[in-house]
Structures are given as structure tokens and as C-alpha cells.
């Protein structure tokens, strides 16, 4: 007979970020075994992509990582445009880079707020969301939509950005850093927060690489891997930014790496916001989106850095207006799979701190 | 002149015993209503204060400034279906919220409140050992939480109850030691040093100034007693869904919620009585209760700020904190108080 008590956390649990279910075996407060169960948000996105036009598939990608939908769009288009041979014009690349980074900031802010809630801090959540709301307002101005933006399109962007939008982005960039430091200090200068995160959920770089962990989680373990540097796309080879890393590998390191990433994103946008060239914002080849077709067979794999990690899209085409197969390498899925290693022999309270620090978005894990 | 004698003055035409019976009954009813309204006010204050802190507006739809929101919420809770878990232990499950409620309201009747113009002294019970009595009554409340957790036969509730026990054990010893220091200090000046009203009158200086360590230990213990963040491990809504009250619905859940805010109010009132010279202040003989109210409300707001800006501490770290920091600090406080009282004759 075992003394372990099985505790079923989720899919309806206040801090399981969507619909994660954890089968946890606890001995008192200590977790001995843990098994994540996923699939509660499976919507068949990959299969649906096979039935839809190349230009329309973006809709499904918007709904994968719904807190950073521009990142998802950039990932899909990186692959689709390579396959179809319709590169975006220079102006669209600039717009995409800016929106991509804004989206990353918004995503990290959502994460920070939710992480605070997981640890019992009620207030920073609202500060984060107020700042995120400003970014969403910029999105609304540029494409009419807040979260599932559907802004990028094959061969460019859906509509041009106006000088007013550029002004609003600039205003945001000038006000945001001070607010960001406030939010950061609210966390990082709180002893209780430090005691809850320091040394909790240590992720060894070896194990991280074995599990395919990417993104801020990997960088917090001291591996300087970022697709934006390793295989630059959009404008990332032309702008100057650092990859924040930390050798600590604990929840606190993941927290500081994400905040440093927000600062680097601000830096990236500041460098290019004044240099947006004039010109067309979409490729004339993509003027009739429904007519975009692949001549002959082809396959392509493209990877981008989403706010969660390396986001890979694999598309096989067999001619025609619809892809033959679409597969997505979801970063959060890989990051989640390392959770049992991290949370083993920790306490229940730590499990929440660890699963919160992974940045789980279930739209992307279950697809 | 006290509230009771005022009431008896009205009802004395009924004769001696019936007159007192009616007066006692009306006094009890008055206290129940006043304390309940006060609790509703504290919850309203919390929601408004939290909203301001979080860049929101808070309740502003029901009534002027949303003042009736809490009444509406209470009505909603009462009207809700009471869902009972199938595998409960029936008696303890039903009794647990009552224990919390009884402990809370009983504790409020023991405290001295000073006087108010036109009514006189508002104190209900004048016991010579009211300090001991109030802590004995407060000690009942955790029993309700533990019973609730164990009797609902839910794993989250069970863990919550176990955490509550671990938490209560680790802060109660330091709390009582800091109370002991107060009694020591008061005994040098007043005869009945176990009575809260004598302790208030013995404070020529607020004891918060004379015993800074003591007020730290006691306030921390009161935070832990009321169990809000950073010390809400028993409830911990992000880990254990809702801790010991997970399986409660409707007004039974509402009672635990009221118990939480009642504990905050009780803790703040106790700190202001024992450490901030309670109802004493300029013009206090006329309206001491106003002073007590102001001091308690300031402490309530401090508690809310702590609640809203802190993450939850882990249970093992809290137990560590209780035994390795609070306990030695309260011993040091005791020794320092002894030196002050006996050596310097304060």
C-alpha cells in the first residue's frame, strides 16, 4: 500500500492557465509523481489548415498563442512566403518587426500578471494589463482587432500604418519603460516573492536541451539560444539587441529574463520606428489572396522566435491553393513536458510557482 | 453610565428582572446589528480600497457609490442553492461555519469600546480577565476552519485544514508571549492587569512605542490569525482552489468570507487597544469610541495594503518564521519589558 495521495489539479483549477490537468501524487505537501494531461483545448488546427486556402490559414494561427498572435502569424508567414515565393516588401517587413515585438511585450506582460496571481499577488496583474491594453489599442488602430489580430497577410500586411499610429507607438515607448520598472520593482524588491521563486524549479541546461526547451526558459538556464540571432528573420539581423541570459535556471531567473526581454524589445522598436521606408505595404503578386497557389510540389520548414520559444512551422504543398500538410512545432508543448522534472520532490505551492513560470498557453499546446 | 443602565432606565417599568432581561436582549441585538454593519462597511472599504490600488473603480452601481453592493451580495448568497457534498460528515460540516461566526461575535462583546456622548460606556462585559477571555474565544475560530476542511472530505480542503493547523500552532505561542509582556508592563501600574480596559488606562505612552518588537510580533500574528496574504496558506486560492472552504456554497461560504474580514477588524481593534492606547486620546472621555474606530480603521487599511501587495508565503517557511524568528523575538521583547518595568520602573 502506498502512502501517496492522488490529487487531481485541473482542468478546472484557478492557476492551471487554461485547461492543463496535472495528476499529482503527493506525500503530505511534497510532490512525488506528476503527470501532465493535455488535450482539453484540441481544435484540430493542423488538419483545418489542410482544408483552407494559404491566405486564410492565418486565422488558425492567430488562435494558437492567443496572447501573442502576431508572433504566430510571423511564424506561419515565414514558412508560407518561403514556400510560395512571395516575399513581403520592405515597408511590410518593418511593420511586421514592430508589431512582432509589441506582441512579445504584451505576451510577457500577461505572463507577469498571471505569475503574480499564481503566487497570490493580486495587484501587479492590473498594472500589467493596463500597459498591455495600450498595446492592444495600437493593434486595434492598425488592424481593427485586439487579440486575434489577423494583421499580417501573405506578401505584406492587411493595411498600412498611418503616421498617427507611429506617433502612438512612440508615445507608448516613451512612457512604458518607467511603468515597466515600477512593475518590475513590485516583484523583484519583494522579499516574499524572492523567497517563493529563488532556487525553485531549477532547470539544468543539459535536461533543457534534451527536452527541447526553448525561449526564455532555456535562456534562463544559461543557453544563449534565440532564433532571432541564430537564424535571423524579418529585420533581426539589422537591429542591435542582446539576448538576456541567466545562469541560475530557477523561476526567478525566468522572471528576470522575461523582463529583460521586454526591455530589449523596446530597444528594437526604438531603432526602427523612425526608419520605416515609404512604398507599397504588400507584394503585388498577392493582390488576389484566394488565387495564391503553389506551382508543383514543395515543402518548407521555418522557425521563428515567439514569446514562448522556438516556433516552427512545416508546410508541405502539392500544388493548388491549399497546403497538403501543416505541422507546428509548439514551444510551450516542449516547455511543459519538462514540468515533471522540475516539480518532482517540491511542495504543492512550488508546483504553482513552477508551472506559472513556464508561461503556458493552451491554445498553442493543444492546437 | 453604561449602555445597559441607559436601556434599563427605559425598561425599568417592567420590574427588576424582566426589565434587565429586555435590556440585555436589546443590547445584544444592538451589538449584533452594529457589528454586522461594521463588517459590511469593512468589506465595502476593502473592495473600494482594492479597486483604487488596482486602477479600477470598484462597486459603483448598486446604491450611491455602490454602498448597497454588499447588501445585494449577501442577499444573493442567501438566495443561492446550498449544495452539500455527498460524502460529508454532516454534523461537523454544518457546525463549522457557526463556530467561526460564534467565535467572532463573542470576541467582539468582550472588548471595551470606550464611551460615546449621550450613551456612556459602550462596554458590554466588564470581566477582570477579559484579555484571557478574548484569546480563549479567538482560539475557537480555527477549530471551525479545521472542522470545515476535514468534514468536507475533499483533498484540497484537507490540505487546507492541515496547513491551517500548522500555521496556528506556529504563531500562537509568540502571540501569547507578546501578550504576557503587556500584562507585565500593565501590572506595574494597575491592579487588574488582565483586563483590557485596565491595560488601556495603564498606557501613559502607547505600548507600541515601549514595545516595538511586541507590536511587530502581535500584528504579524493577527495577520496570520485572520489568514490573508501573505499568510493565507489555509485558503490559498491559486493552489488549493479555496482551501478549507472549497466545498461550501451559498451563505455558508459567505460566513467564512465574513469571518475573514471580521478577523481583520478584530485584530486591528485588539492592536489599537493593547498597543495604541485604544479609546484614549484628546477629548476621549466624551467620545472614546471614535478614537478607537479611527485607530482600528487605519490599521485595517494597513492590513489591506499588506494583503494586496504581498505574495503568499510557503507553509514550511511560515512555520520556520514562526518558531525561529517570531518566538525568539517575543522572548527578547519579554526580557526587555522586564528590564523596563522592574529595572527602570516604567
Q: Are residues B114 and B228 in the same domain?
A: yes
Q: Give A127's contacts in chain B (Cβ within 8 Å).
A: 54-55
Question: Which of residues B33, B62, B79 is at a domain's end?
Answer: B79
Nearest CA in chain A to B160: A29
Residues 6+ apart with CB under 8 A from A167: none
CB atoms inside a 10 Å sphere around CB A272: 18
Which of B220, B238, B242, B245 should be substituted to probe chain A, the one whose Cβ sees the most A Cβ atoms within 10 Å? B238
Q: Is A13 in Cβ contact with B241 (below 8 Å)?
A: yes
Q: What is the pLDDT of residues B42-79, one digit of tens each?
A: 989 899 999 988 888 888 888 788 888 888 888 888 88
Q: What is the pLDDT of residues B183-227, one digit of tens each?
A: 888 888 888 888 888 888 888 788 888 888 889 999 999 888 888
pLDDT confidence tier of residue B284, bands split at 50, 70 and 90: low
Chain A residues close to B232, C-beta within 8 Å: 120
Read off the pLDDT of each residue in B159-185 and give the average, rounded to a whole number. 88
CA distance A54 to A365: 22
Q: Residue A365 is placed in which grid cell?
A: 499546446
Whole-number pLDDT of residue B298? 92
Same domain, B45 and B114: no
Give the domain-ending residue among B50, B79, B108. Answer: B79
What is the side-by-side strand order in the sheet with A30-37?
A: A5-9, A21-27, A30-37
Same domain, yes or no, for B109 and B245?
yes
Chain A residues interacting with chain B (CB cutoff of 8 angstroms): 5, 7, 13-15, 28-29, 116-123, 125-127, 130, 186, 190, 192-193, 195-196, 347-352
Same domain, B288 and B263: yes
Residues of A in contact with B236 (CB under 8 A): 120, 349
Looking at the complex, does the CB of residue B27 fall below 8 Å from at least one CB of chain A?
A: no
Q: Do B56 and A126 touch (CB under 8 A)?
A: yes
User: Tens place of pLDDT for every residue, chain A, 367 residues?
Assistant: 467 888 888 788 877 777 888 888 888 788 888 888 888 888 888 888 888 888 888 888 888 888 888 888 899 988 988 888 888 898 889 999 999 999 999 999 999 999 988 888 888 899 999 999 999 999 998 888 888 888 888 888 888 888 898 999 999 999 999 999 999 998 988 888 898 888 888 888 999 999 989 989 999 998 888 888 888 888 888 888 888 888 888 889 999 999 999 999 999 998 898 888 888 888 888 777 777 788 878 889 999 998 888 999 999 988 888 888 889 998 998 888 898 888 888 888 888 888 888 888 888 888 8
A340: domain CATH number? 1.10.645.10
Instruction: Give the length of chain A.
Output: 367
Instruction: Tell whether B228 and B323 lie within a shared domain.
Output: yes
Domain count, chain B: 2
How many Cβ pairs closer than 8 A exist between chain A and B?
82
Mean of the per-residue pLDDT values of chain B: 85
pLDDT band at B332 (very low <50, low <70, confident <90, very high): very high
Note whether B98 and B71 are same-domain residues: no
Dihedral sign, Cα of residue B272, residue B276, residue B278, residue B283: negative
The whole-model pTM stands at: 0.88
Q: Do B312 and A196 touch (CB under 8 A)?
A: yes
Whether B140 and B63 share a structural domain: no
Residues B22, B94: one domain?
Answer: no
Hey, which residues 154-173 in chain B have their CB within 8 Å of chain A?
155-156, 159, 162-163
- Contact status, residue A121 vs residue B309, Cβ threshold 8 Å: yes
A335 min Cα distance to partner chain B (Å):
21
pLDDT surpasses 80 at B5: no
Do B66 and B95 fall into the same domain?
Answer: no
Res B311 pLDDT > 50: yes
Are B33 and B136 in a shared domain?
no
Residues of the domain holding B235 = 83-343
Closest CA to A142 of A179, A181, A96, A177: A96
Taking the C-alpha atoms of residue A42 and residue B233, their distance in angstroms, rounded to an integer, is 34
Last residue of a domain, one of B79, B104, B127: B79
Answer yes or no: do B104 and B17 share one domain.
Answer: no
Task: Look at B316 and A350 and tell me if their CB atoms are within 8 Å.
Answer: no
Please judge whether B50 and A122 are an interchain contact, meaning their C-beta atoms are less than 8 angstroms apart. Answer: yes
Q: Find the closest chain B residue to A28 by CA distance.
A: B159
State residue A1's pLDDT score.
45
Number of neighbouring beta carbons within 10 Å of residue B173: 15
- pLDDT(B299) > 80: yes
B230 to chain A: which residues are within 8 Å by CB?
Answer: 120, 192
CA A112 to chain centre: 13
Contacts of A348 in chain B (CB under 8 A): 159, 239-240
Contact B311 A190 (CB under 8 A): yes
Q: What is the ipTM of this complex?
A: 0.83
pLDDT of residue B301: 92
Percent of chain B at pLDDT exceeding 90: 8
* Residue B239 contacts A where some CB pair is shorter than 8 Å: yes
How many structural domains comprise chain A? 1
State how far residue A29 is from chain B, nearest Cα, in angstroms: 8
Whether the CB-CB separation of B106 and B132 falls below 8 Å is answered with no
Beta strand extents in chain A (DSSP E only): 5-9, 21-27, 30-37, 152-153, 156-157, 294-305, 310-320, 325-329
Same-domain status, B110 and B205 = yes
- Which DSSP symbol is given to B342? I
Residue ranges making up the domain that contains A173: 5-366
Amino acid at each position: 500500500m502506498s502512502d501517496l495521495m492522488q490529487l487531481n489539479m485541473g482542468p478546472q483549477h484557478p492557476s492551471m492557465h487554461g485547461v492543463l490537468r496535472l495528476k499529482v501524487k503527493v506525500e503530505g505537501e511534497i510532490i512525488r509523481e506528476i503527470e501532465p494531461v493535455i488535450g482539453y483545448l484540441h481544435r484540430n488546427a493542423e488538419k483545418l489548415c489542410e482544408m483552407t486556402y494559404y491566405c486564410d490559414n492565418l486565422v488558425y494561427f492567430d488562435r494558437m498563442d492567443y496572447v501573442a498572435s502576431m508572433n504566430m502569424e510571423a511564424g506561419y508567414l515565414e514558412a508560407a512566403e518561403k514556400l510560395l515565393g512571395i516575399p513581403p516588401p520592405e515597408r511590410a517587413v518593418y511593420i511586421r518587426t514592430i508589431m512582432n515585438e509589441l506582441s512579445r511585450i504584451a505576451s510577457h506582460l500577461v505572463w507577469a500578471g498571471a505569475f503574480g496571481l499564481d503566487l497570490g499577488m493580486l495587484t501587479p496583474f492590473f498594472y500589467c494589463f493596463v500597459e498591455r491594453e495600450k498595446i492592444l489599442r495600437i493593434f486595434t488602430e492598425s488592424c481593427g482587432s485586439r487579440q486575434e489580430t489577423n494583421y499580417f497577410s501573405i506578401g505584406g500586411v492587411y493595411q498600412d500604418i498611418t503616421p498617427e499610429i507611429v506617433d502612438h507607438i512612440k508615445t507608448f515607448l516613451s512612457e512604458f519603460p518607467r511603468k515597466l520598472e515600477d512593475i518590475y520593482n513590485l516583484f523583484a524588491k519583494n522579499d516574499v516573492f524572492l523567497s517563493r521563486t529563488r532556487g525553485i524549479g531549477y532547470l539544468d541546461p543539459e535536461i533543457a536541451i534534451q527536452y527541447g526547451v526553448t525561449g526564455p526558459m532555456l535562456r534562463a538556464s544559461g543557453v544563449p539560444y534565440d532564433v532571432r540571432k541564430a537564424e535571423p528573420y524579418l529585420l533581426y539581423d539589422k537591429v542591435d539587441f542582446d539576448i538576456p541570459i541567466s545562469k541560475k535556471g530557477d523561476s526567478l531567473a525566468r522572471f528576470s529574463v522575461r523582463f529583460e526581454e521586454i526591455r530589449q524589445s523596446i530597444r528594437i522598436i526604438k531603432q526602427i520606428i523612425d526608419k520605416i521606408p515609404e512604398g507599397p505595404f504588400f507584394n503585388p503578386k498577392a493582390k488576389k489572396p484566394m488565387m495564391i497557389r503553389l506551382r508543383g510540389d514543395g515543402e518548407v520548414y521555418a522557425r521563428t522566435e515567439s514569446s514562448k520559444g522556438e516556433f516552427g512551422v512545416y508546410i508541405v504543398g502539392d500544388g493548388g491553393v491549399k497546403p497538403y500538410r501543416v505541422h507546428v512545432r509548439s514551444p510551450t508543448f516542449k516547455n511543459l513536458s519538462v514540468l515533471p522534472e522540475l516539480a518532482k520532490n517540491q511542495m504543492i505551492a512550488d508546483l504553482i510557482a513552477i508551472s506559472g513560470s513556464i508561461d503556458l498557453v493552451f491554445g498553442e499546446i493543444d492546437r | 453610565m453604561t449602555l445597559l443602565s441607559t436601556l434599563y432606565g427605559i425598561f425599568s417599568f417592567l420590574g427588576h428582572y424582566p426589565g434587565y432581561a429586555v435590556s440585555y436582549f436589546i443590547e445584544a441585538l444592538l451589538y449584533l446589528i452594529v457589528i454586522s454593519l461594521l463588517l459590511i462597511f469593512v468589506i465595502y472599504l476593502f473592495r473600494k480600497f482594492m479597486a483604487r490600488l488596482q486602477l479600477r473603480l470598484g462597486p459603483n452601481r448598486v446604491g450611491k457609490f455602490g454602498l448597497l453592493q454588499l447588501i445585494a451580495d449577501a442577499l444573493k448568497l442567501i438566495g443561492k442553492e446550498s449544495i452539500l457534498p455527498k460524502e460529508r460528515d454532516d454534523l461537523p460540516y454544518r457546525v463549522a461555519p457557526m463556530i467561526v461566526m460564534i467565535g467572532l461575535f463573542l470576541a467582539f462583546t468582550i472588548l471595551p469600546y470606550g464611551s460615546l456622548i449621550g450613551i456612556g460606556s459602550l462596554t458590554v462585559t466588564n470581566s477582570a480577565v477579559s484579555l484571557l477571555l478574548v484569546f480563549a474565544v479567538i482560539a475557537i475560530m480555527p477549530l471551525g476552519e479545521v472542522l470545515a476542511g476535514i468534514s468536507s472530505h475533499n483533498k484540497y480542503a484537507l490540505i487546507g485544514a492541515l496547513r491551517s493547523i500548522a500555521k496556528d500552532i506556529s504563531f500562537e505561542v509568540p502571540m501569547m508571549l507578546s501578550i504576557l509582556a503587556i500584562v507585565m508592563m500593565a501590572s506595574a501600574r494597575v491592579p487588574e492587569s488582565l483586563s483590557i480596559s485596565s491595560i488601556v488606562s495603564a498606557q501613559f505612552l502607547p505600548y507600541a512605542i515601549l514595545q516595538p518588537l511586541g507590536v511587530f510580533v502581535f500584528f504579524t500574528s493577527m495577520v496570520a490569525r485572520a489568514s490573508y496574504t501573505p499568510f493565507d496558506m489555509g485558503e490559498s486560492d491559486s493552489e488549493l482552489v479555496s482551501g478549507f472552504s472549497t466545498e461550501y456554497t451559498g451563505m455558508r461560504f459567505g460566513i467564512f468570507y465574513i469571518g475573514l474580514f471580521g478577523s481583520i477588524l478584530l485584530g486591528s481593534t485588539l492592536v489599537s487597544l493593547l498597543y495604541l492606547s485604544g479609546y484614549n486620546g484628546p477629548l476621549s472621555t466624551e467620545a472614546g469610541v471614535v478614537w478607537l474606530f479611527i485607530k482600528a480603521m487605519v490599521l485595517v487599511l494597513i492590513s489591506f495594503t499588506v494583503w494586496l501587495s504581498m505574495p503568499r508565503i510557503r507553509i514550511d517557511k511560515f512555520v520556520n518564521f514562526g518558531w525561529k524568528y517570531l518566538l525568539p523575538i517575543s522572548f527578547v521583547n519579554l526580557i526587555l519589558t522586564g528590564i523596563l518595568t522592574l529595572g527602570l520602573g516604567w
